[in-house]
Amino acid sequence: MNNKMKIVVIGGTGLIGTKLVNNLRQRGHEVVAASPSSGVNAFTGQGLAEVLTGVQVAVDVANAPQWDDKAVLEFFETAGRNLLAAEAAAGVRHHVALSIVGADRLPASGYLRAKVAQENLIKASKVPFTIVRSTQFFEFVKGIAQSATEGQTVRLSPGMMQPIAADDVAAALTDVAVAEPVNRTIEIAGPEPIRMDEFVRRFLSATGDARKVTVDVHAFYFGTELNDQSLVPGPGDNPRLGPTHYDDWLKRSTA
């Protein structure tokens, strides 16, 4: 499809949003990076009608500003409702949303419950859609280590992950945004599985960090315990795999 489209990226100034906006512009599309700083706030509804005028595709990669269970649910439900209603009114032809692989398998996590609520709103709306569920990003590794650190010890679940580079997430979203809506969920993941403790251990080693990783099957992630099925694509999900390997990403990002 080489016809130029007008595309709005909600959360267009974040990690994924910035990359996605650049990718779409390089392909010759007219792209608006929408965020509260640009006067577009999906949670309050401010600026939505204006920014969606004449838009064919809206991509939602916005994240909740607060992470406690009640606030995050309220954010994704309210922003989701506002955005979908404004899109329907503006005649948007494709709603693309970024979600998380395994969101429905971890109901103890308030954050993931909120993402499932967001997905359900999209499925119930009149706007044609594609939901892209991604595994954790390589870029999360520092934060995962930080939140699990006590003194010089990093206590982590050995749960299986299949993390993906943010560049590969943005590439997948770019392809989805310019394609026809599929009205279902597709999954993306990195090229290889790795246990969470090993994911962080390799990062600490690559950055010369002296902290030691210990394994704890009861360690929480996103407010819940994990098992080996929690965060990886399920059998039959047929995920699109990003080409970037973790060790190559580590070499590049620590160079």
What digits encode the pLDDT tens for the residues 30-81? 999 999 999 999 999 999 999 999 999 999 999 888 878 899 999 999 999 9
Mean of per-residue pLDDT scores for the chain? 95
Rounded distance between C-alpha atoms, residue 157 and residue 66, angstroms: 24
- Lowest-confidence segment of 149-163, 172-186, 218-232 by average pLDDT: 218-232
pLDDT tens column, 144-153:
999 999 999 9
- Asked if residue 254 has pLDDT above 90, the reply is no
Specify the pairing of strand 153-156 against strand 149-150: antiparallel
pLDDT tens column, 172-194:
999 999 999 999 999 999 999 99
Q: What is the pLDDT of residue 1?
A: 47
Q: What is the pLDDT of residue 223?
A: 86
Q: Rounded to an integer, what is the distance from CA 205 to the centroid of its chain?
A: 26
- Asked if residue 222 has pLDDT above 90, the reply is no
Indicate the pLDDT class of residue 2, thresholds 50, 70 and 90: low
In the chain, pLDDT over 90 holds for what percent of residues?
Answer: 92
For residue 199, give every residue at least 6 positions away whose Cβ sits within 8 Å of its Cβ, in sequence order, or none: 141, 144, 161, 163, 246
**Nearest CA-CA partner of 31 in 17, 45, 41, 43:** 17
pLDDT tens column, 95-134:
999 999 999 999 899 999 999 999 999 999 999 999 999 9
- Asked if residue 21 has pLDDT above 50, the reply is yes
- Asked if residue 211 has pLDDT above 70, the reply is yes
Q: What is the pLDDT of residue 235?
A: 84
For 115-152, letters b (16+ CB in 10 Å) and e give bbbbbebbeebebebbbbbbbbbbbbbeebbeebbeee
